[in-house]
Amino acid sequence: MKSNEKDDISINSAPQYTESSLPKNSKWQQFKDSFKRVDTTNSNINLTDVEKANQLSNNNDLHRSLKSRQIQMIALGGSIGTGLLIGSGGALAKGGPASLLISYGLVGTMVFCVIHALGELCVAFPVAGAFSTYATRFVDSSWGFAVGWNYAIMWLIVLPLELVAAAMCIKYWNDKINPASWVAIFYVFIVAINLFGVKGYGEAEFYLTILKVIAIVGFIILGVVLVCGGGPNHEFIGSKNWKIPFTNGFKGLCVTFITASYSLAGSELVGLTSAETSNPHKTLPKAVRQIFWRLFLFYFLSLTFIGLLVPADSPELLGSSDTSASPFVLAIKAGGIYALPSIFNACILISILSVGNSAVYGCSRTIQSLGAQGLAPSIFAYVDRKGRPLVGLIISAIFGLLCFLSAYKDEETVFNWLLSVSGLATIFSWFNIGLCHVRFRLAMFKQGKSMDELIFKSVTGIYGTIYSMGLLLLVLGVQFWTALFPLGSNGKANATSFFQNYLGSVVILVFYLCHKIYTKNWRLYIKLKDIDLDSGRRDVDLELIKAELEQERELNKSRSVFIRVWKYWC
């Protein structure tokens, strides 16, 4: 018996790697070993597809290295990019200043409800893949397969698009250098950041978002000065540019709705971070609450001043898709300030690189989650000893090479068709979050579980989620109409426009049906009584956490109203 124990000990304590003769403490050997796969546990083959997916997604090998300050910055400004800084100019031209505020305001309320619903789910189930995993857990594995892959493909395509947009930013200063050279530099920069693992992504987003926040806040302050006539031109602008609040009537408003939805894409990324933070019950609620400030400060206030400072009929708004058409740059130019446009162009470049960085992070984590759930080849679930989803990163890097199509003469046509494949991915992802939240709440009720078990609850509740789902269906409806009969078509159907804007709905349907046929799973949804509400939760003392929260509430009662508001929302 002793000899067997000795043999076991010798086997377990033997060095795991023998392919190299380098000593264990060699930096080069440690670097090579870091790329090796972390040991994983095998699942029970007798489980159903959903049970197996739940079990495998719970065995999370990603490192819980994201800090509270990093998650808060990711939530605060991680998705601010070309949609707001450049795309809002086209929305202003097509819809007018009133349409801009109405559409962003309504879509903002929808996103507020969706992210709070996501926060509730992520605090309860901080598993890898977040909302793609929840689709399998609360709806059906085929729906999880379709939503997950559609979301991953979106980020695969967004990366090269953002890299090309970054090169276009440089052309603002110097258009004589081949854009492919700048694309190569940005490509290496973003891939290198993500090779440092979640710490690299978190630190990069922290500092990049700080710069974005400073830029937007600075623009709002400048906007107040310019509107009141305090700029170099000393011209009081007021509501002069609001003479035509709606430029294309109701259809213009509908087009602006779609732009607003795309501009807010990436808000859900905070959910993917839940598996890589050590205390999701503390960090995520605070990060989710900050969505209010991002919507109000960065979108609503900044676009209010864009509508006041930039005429909707300005020919420069639709002159191109590069930074020279950014309404922020045009507003600064119109104010007679000649140095600031270049500075703000640099801020746009930073924002674009930030979104490209987020694209690699979001894509790699989603692909890893799909592999872990059994919805992709098992190699896709590969996580190395540094907690990096290595296969997901490699796939994202390979697709990122599409950025070199910028040297091709018809690159815009190619990118438009690539983007059309996943053009509606954000809409479907948000709708999926709402659907999962509703089914989660209904399953809690059906299985007799108390809402007191939830550490964090959505402030808008289930009714806010239902409202957001209804608004998303409305956006899909108007997208269908404006895609088939675009502005300027004089009521004639345009097949090219339709497929470039609505092909994403066909793609997700194909994914869904192909998975049903392949797995022969004809179940539409999981019954509420069969939904797994237990696995995936962190091993935490629920009573201790509740006691801490109650202690925090009692402490808040002794503070001033200002401090209480600040503590809650900031």
- Predicted confidence (pLDDT) per residue in 220-261, tens digit: 999 999 999 887 877 888 888 888 888 888 888 888 888 888
Q: For residue 305, give both structure tokens.
A: 């001043």
- Is 10's pLDDT higher than 50? no
In the prediction, which pLDDT does 180 show?
Answer: 80
Per-residue pLDDT reduced to its tens digit, 124-158: 888 777 778 899 999 999 999 999 999 999 899 88
- Give the C-alpha separation, 378 to 372, whole Å: 7
pLDDT tier at 387 (50, 70, 90 boundaries)?
confident
More confident residue, 116 or 341: 116
Domain-embedded: residue 40: no
In the prediction, which pLDDT does 7 show?
Answer: 43
Domain-embedded: residue 47: no
Residue of 72, 49, 111, 52 lying closest to 433 (CA atoms): 111
β-strand partners of 384: 37
Instruction: Give me the helices (H) in 125-196, please.
Output: 131-138, 141-171, 179-195
Q: Which domain holds residue 518?
A: 66-539
| DSSP secondary structure of 419-472 | HHHTTTHHHHHHHHHHHHHHHHHHHHHHTT--GGG-SS--TTHHHHHHHHHHHH
Of the chain, the percentage scoring pLDDT greater than 70 comes to 82
Instruction: Please say whether the beta carbons of 198 and 62 come within 8 A.
Output: yes
Domain-embedded: residue 34: no
Domain-embedded: residue 285: yes
In the prediction, which pLDDT does 441 show?
Answer: 95
Domain-embedded: residue 545: no
- Give the C-alpha separation, 406 to 183, whole Å: 8
Please calculate the CA angle 52-58-64 and round it to the nearest 5 degrees: 155
Average pLDDT over residues 438-467: 90
Cα torsion at 123, 360, 297, 302 (round to 10°)?
A: -160
Domain-embedded: residue 566: no
Chain CA centroid to CA 49, Å: 27
List the CATH number of the domain containing 202. 1.20.1740.10
Q: For residue 172, give both structure tokens.
A: 């603002």
Domain-embedded: residue 303: yes
pLDDT tier at 439 (50, 70, 90 boundaries)?
very high
pLDDT tier at 57 (50, 70, 90 boundaries)?
low
Interhelix angle 131-138/425-446, rounded to 10 degrees, is 50
In the prediction, which pLDDT does 17 show?
Answer: 42
Tokens 């709708």 belong to: 431
| DSSP secondary structure of 250-304 | HHHHHHHHHHHHHHTTTTTHHHHGGGGBS-HHHHHHHHHHTHHHIIIIIIIIHHH
In the prediction, which pLDDT does 398 show?
Answer: 93
What is the reported pTM? 0.87
Question: In 3-state terms, what secondary structure has residue 244?
Answer: coil
DSSP 8-state assignment for residue 245: S
In the prediction, which pLDDT does 277 show?
Answer: 78
More confident residue, 245 or 294: 245
- Number of domains forming the structure of the chain: 1
Per-residue pLDDT reduced to its tens digit, 510-546: 999 999 999 898 888 899 999 988 876 665 556 676 6
Please calculate the CA angle 292-125-543 and round it to the nearest 5 degrees: 95
Domain-embedded: residue 38: no
